[in-house]
Amino acid sequence: MKDILVTGGLGYIGSHTVVQLIEKNYNVTIVDNLSNSKIFILDNIEKITGKRPHYFNIDLTDYNKINSCFSKNKFDGVIHFAALKSVSESVNHPDKYYHNNLNSLLNLLRCMKENDIKNIIFSSSCTVYGQPDKLPVSEKSPFKEAESPYARTKQMSENIIEDFTNSISYLSAISLRYFNPVGAHHSGLIGELPLGTPDNLVPYITQTAAGIRQELKIFGDDYNTHDGTAIRDYIHVEDLAEAHITALQRMIENKMKSKYEYYNIGTGVGYSVLDVVKSFENVNKLKLNYSFSERRSGDIEKMFSDCTISNKKLGWNSKNGLDEMMSSAWKWEKNISKFLKG
């Protein structure tokens, strides 16, 4: 049985990946400083799987603390989620994003080097492509100018990881470039949990439907799209979690063709903001209150993936459609308040 360290394992994507790791009989250790999560998620992971993963409350920017964790435990691989992720916040506070996202990665890689740990999967993002010249975007598309400090930290992080794999003979890495994760676990026990005002579309939709927000503000109605709103490739979080398991198995079974690989993780289908709103209304039999406002700094017009390489080489495919994403997101939203109250 393999032992896997999951940083940010109580966060949105991390928690869903932890569940699937446990279900695949991996031993899991979580490191999470709860900056964007809540401890009840650990309880709910146990409810879903019947097992409680090891947990350490550690900030990865504190090298001494994370090094102590490595020295006391033996890991066969690392899945690195822990990072700040708000595009708009990064525009206003770039120092915060460079400090956290880069230093945490450097500390982690340093600990891996000192403890001879050879496998890491990195939580990357389609934002590394900037606004591509051609859609759908494939892994062969070059990095364009980053549209936000958040996106730039992802570009820089990938470069750092590749440099480490080149310099350490036994180190291998896979970067998964996510498109737009949405939805929640089918149990309704874990899902996206924004602290404060949501920065992402779907939790803002669900909070508006729940009466927490007065209305949904749609940023921009003058994009060059079929309805004027921005287009993204939305992927169900459970499909995204499965991609991590597939990537980890590829590494452990020594099937990688190079020391550093990277894959697009999306559906290959682009939906506009209004497409998402209509799906949510239809599948949940609800009517949303929404209005339009100015474009948001750091946002791009269109982004959707070409998943040919991840389908063929990684052997992974998305399974859930937009309606499944929207129904699971609403199921989770209806449970959140009782979990927060304990």
Q: Is residue 226 part of a domain?
A: no
Q: Is residue 11 part of a domain?
A: yes
pLDDT score of 229: 98
Q: Is residue 282 part of a domain?
A: no
Split the chain (342 residues) into runs of 10 and give each run's mean pLDDT: 97 98 98 96 98 98 97 96 93 97 98 97 96 93 95 98 97 97 98 90 97 96 97 98 98 96 97 98 98 89 95 96 98 94 74
pLDDT score of 22: 98
Q: Is residue 192 part of a domain?
A: no
pLDDT score of 300: 85
pLDDT score of 199: 85
Helix (H), strand (E), coil (C) string for the chain: CCEEEEECCCCHHHHHHHHHHHHCCCEEEEECCCCCCCCHHHHHHHHHHCCCCEEECCCCCCHHHHHHHHHHCCCCEEEECCCCCCHHHHHHCHHHHHHHHHHHHHHHHHHHHHCCCCEEEEEEEHHHHCCCCCCCECCCCCCCCCCCHHHHHHHHHHHHHHHHHHHCCCCEEEEEEECEEECCCCCCCCCCCCCCCCCCHHHHHHHHHCCCCCCEEEECCCCCCCCCCCEECEEEHHHHHHHHHHHHHHHHCCCCCCCEEEEEECCCCCEEHHHHHHHHHHHHCCCCCEEEECCCCCCCCECCECCHHHHHHHCCCCCCCHHHHHHHHHHHHHHHHHHHHC
> Tell me: the pLDDT tens digits for 82-108?
999 998 899 999 999 999 999 999 999
- Structural domain count of the chain: 1
* Residues classed as catalytic: 150
Q: Is residue 254 part of a domain?
A: yes
Q: Is residue 286 part of a domain?
A: no
pLDDT score of 23: 98
Q: Is residue 205 part of a domain?
A: no
Residue 14 belongs to a domain with what CATH number? Answer: 3.40.50.720
Q: Which domain holds residue 85?
A: 3-184+234-267+306-319
Q: Is residue 295 part of a domain?
A: no
Percentage of residues of the chain with pLDDT beyond 90? 92
pLDDT score of 299: 84
